[in-house]
Structure 1
């Protein structure tokens, strides 16, 4: 299988780490991994990954610390895999400019399509590549650091589902059903409903800041 790009995966849960590493490797990516923030930065400096998948809450340097370093010094795009979707976390994710935010629990079949979409956008921004630089309004916050990395259904919908899971103590399937029901009741496409929900959470977080 052809190498589709180099991915750095960081998670202090070794089972999650092994699962994600195996799944992405099987999908054709070259994967490097770390189980803490300090090692993650060292690995990123050494291997220059195309994309990083970061857990947020770890001992020592957090995923946010690693993301800030990747952004400022290595210009490596990143996404977060986290069990937390509270307002402060969501706001910080946006401020840092993550290309996606997936809320645990999730499986590799959810991660791989998101990684593939992010990598496609990254490769489209390489010199000589043709890219559509028009960004949806809701992508502006998350893609502020790397213009052109766009949020699509594979990014906004998981974030909206994560918000509903957190706020209403729902399982992932239940949260998705609620989002679909809201979209149906209001006569909107699912992606538009997800964007409205994420925007509303961001406005609320700003008001509380």
Structure 2
């Protein structure tokens, strides 16, 4: 008998407050924008229909605010895990995208590669970032084999999760879009990994 696959639904938080858009927010505990609250409310019915067996989430404010409309509709009780917090960007924290190059002589487009190389001063060490995300995901997978699990977190964490699950370098995920209030689904067939859905925004009208 073929074992039932495990499905992970990675959900990025909704749009953040305007002063923090196109900013390396990282560990700043920032709120959603008005548009972000609208996105979260529009996403919630789709998540309610998804009805996962378990829900894990980052404890950061922007994730909690994204989660609230779903909780109001009867989500599973969230399990908040600090390992799912966004990466610490060190001296880039709070710096606008367009200011990184003039201030630090580094391209913001290279942020994933620079994290891998531990080349952003005072940022979270790459091995620490990878190990905490991987350990958390492994615990989730061990606890819920063959189940459907939602993980509501951050863009950097989702990229690290994909890199770990697919055995990619983190920098390889730079070509992938992981937008606000999007869903990315990975199905684990052990040992095969299937990337089923990438950057799906169910609340956005199809053109």
Structure with the largest fraction of strand: 2
TM-score, L = length of structure 1: 0.28
- Greater relative contact order (CA < 8 Å, ≥ 6 in sequence): 2
Structure with the largest fraction of helix: 1
TM-score, L = length of structure 2: 0.28
